[in-house]
Amino acid sequence: MTLLVGVFFAVAIYLFLSKHIIRILLGAAILGNAVNLLIFTSGRLTREVPPILSPDDPVSNVVITANPLPQALILTAIVISFSFFAFLLVLGFRAYQELETDDTEEMRFAEPEDQEMPPLGY
């Protein structure tokens, strides 16, 4: 699983370094999945019983249970990353509609090449 997390991070970084918006968005989605998998593997991969206690059992007879915190964090992160990806997808599509390109080098209307650069210091 650790190697898979490393591959996900490497693919996400590779896609982030692309010039095309759609590849950058896919890199963001893969990065979110890589972080979720990292949280999941850091929470110890075990086949323990679910962390549900019945009211009949006394607390002293509790067997080793799975850690519910990584599962709750991942569930929350999935919802957040999906909404973030949907927002980025709409933003990228709107930029494509306005500028008629998905190449980031051609999307430089905010920084025209014929004007001089603003001052870099104060």
In this predicted model, what pLDDT tens digit does every residue of 39-98 receive, in sequence order? Answer: 888 877 767 666 676 677 666 556 677 777 888 889 999 999 999 999 999 999 998 998
Which is nearest to 28 in space by CA: 73, 91, 115? 91
Radius of gyration of the chain (CA): 22
- Domain covering 1-46+67-113: architecture: Orthogonal Bundle (1.10)
Strand extents, DSSP E, the chain: none
Amino acid sitting at position 99: L
Cβ-count burial of 43 within 10 angstroms (0-12 exposed, 13-18 middle, 19+ buried)?
middle
What does the pLDDT read at residue 29? Answer: 95
Name beta bridge partners: 20.
103
Token duo for residue 46: 């075990």
On whether the CB atoms of residues 99 and 58 are closer than 8 A, the answer is no
